[in-house]
Amino acid sequence: GISVIPPKLWRLNIDPPDGSTASFDVDERWWDQVELTRLDLSSNEIKEISEDIENFNSLSVLEVRMKI
């Protein structure tokens, strides 16, 4: 399992910063993207969850069971 959540994960649904361009590649199928409502981080070795989790306004289920 992982021990650190990649910072990029917390910014999945955030617009790109000013000055950058959004990618509209057909392969990305951005029009099918939905807001994250469930995040399962169980069976990992994560010791800390960033405050940036607040970026997921629609998150209603967070699973963080510890690996034994």
The whole-number average pLDDT for the span 30-50 is 88
Q: What pLDDT score was predicted for residue 53?
A: 93
Task: Tell me if the pTM is above 0.95.
Answer: no
What does the block give as tokens for 14? 């955030």
Q: What pLDDT score was predicted for residue 39?
A: 94
Q: What pLDDT score was predicted for residue 14?
A: 74
Q: For the chain, first and last CA: distance in Å? A: 12
**Burial label, 36 (beta-carbon count in 10 A; 0-12, 13-18, 19+):** middle
Give the dihedral sign, CA 68/62/23/8. negative
The whole-number average pLDDT for the span 34-43 is 92
Q: Where are the domains of the chain?
A: 1-10+34-68
